[in-house]
Structure 1
Amino acid sequence: MRNSYISRRIASFGYAFSGIAAFVKSEPHARIHVIATVAVVVAGCWYKLSTAEWMWVILAITLVWVTEMFNTVVEKIMDHLSPEYHPKVKWIKDVAAGAVLVAAIAAAIIGGLIFAPRIF
């Protein structure tokens, strides 16, 4: 019984990685996030960020990725439930997209506070 529990837990990681891969393959914004993430990590290595700075950068990157993934899920669910235009569906999708914008602005501010003094 224990082995089946462990194998199910291991399999759940596979499902999660499959979900991330499906997100990156299917969503243009996800590919932009991949490029931005790589650029920020390279810049962080180049400028030798401190541990505390890395914590903020990782938190900002994660916040943007998670909100973008949830936004995508909300959009896909709403498109499935209501293929035709509906003002309430538009509102739901707009608010989900707004969450991504808030996260992206916060990430840009964090990045600016950390990288601007080094660049300028």
Structure 2
Amino acid sequence: MDVRFPVTRDPGNFSEVIELDLRDVDYIETHQTGFVVFHTKDEVFYPVVPKLSILEKHLEDLGFLRLDRTNLSNIEKIRYYDEERSLVFFNDKISKSSKFTTVSSSMKKMLKNRLARRSGRNGNH
């Protein structure tokens, strides 16, 4: 079975994300710094820690944008921007069960501009 694990070459996860084939791992340890470390024959790797700040850096090129401190949103998946309530929705038809997330006041203008560029319109859909 081919099992891959997202890792980087540094404990802060700032370098390139690599999919490490776990069959290449000799052993895994908790380092004295508290980080988990994957050891292969010649290298050391650190698992990607699922923090928004780390994911933000690595997913920006895929179209994810930090809309507020609690979320990263895929701009291509946004279907409606309710500027008045500072919410973005990911469904074409808005209902009580629609998925949504919040937009910080500092991101409103940037989001509106990005959505306008994406759709060729002035931002709300």
Shorter-chain TM band: under 0.3
RCO higher in structure (CA 8 A, sep ≥6) = 1
Give 1 or 2 for the bigger CA radius of gyration.
Answer: 2
Structure 1 or 2: more helix by fraction: 1
Structure 1 or 2: more strand by fraction: 2
Q: TM-score, normalised by structure 1?
A: 0.26
